[in-house]
Amino acid sequence: MKTSKIIAAAALSLLAAVGAQAETYDGVHPLVYGKSRAEVRADAVVAAHSDNPYAEAVSSRVAAPLLASGPRAIVRNEAVAAAHGPNPYAEGYGQGVTSVQAGIVDRTTVRAQARATARGDQLPL
């Protein structure tokens, strides 16, 4: 009885093994070549002689100098004008500038109030 069970198990495993090998695999995509051997070889030569974009510290190389967009004097004058102009990154830029208007309060009165506040004195009402 044991021998018949062993033979039956072997037959089932053999049948399962044959069924598992019946399927063929053609790959994910069919192989289609769009270039000739000469074109592929030319591309390989170009790639071999160009810089390696995956090398270590490839982005830390010195960049090529930038070319000026105009004569030096004009660029300098534009830089000076931009440096003396308003800061476009300042908070509230573009909201308009509040104009300073002359007040009707005397300067000495304002100074006296500021000193009294700084010392903690009570201001007269």
Residues 52-104 pLDDT 10s: 777 777 666 777 777 777 888 888 888 888 888 877 777 766 666 666 677 77
Q: How far apart are CA 116 and CA 113, in angstroms?
A: 5
pTM of the predicted structure, to 2 decimals: 0.25
Q: How far apart are CA 19 and CA 13, in angstroms?
A: 10
Q: What percent of the chain has pLDDT over 90?
A: 6
Which is more confidently placed, 40 or 58? 40
Alpha helices, DSSP H only, in the chain? 2-20, 37-49, 72-84, 107-119
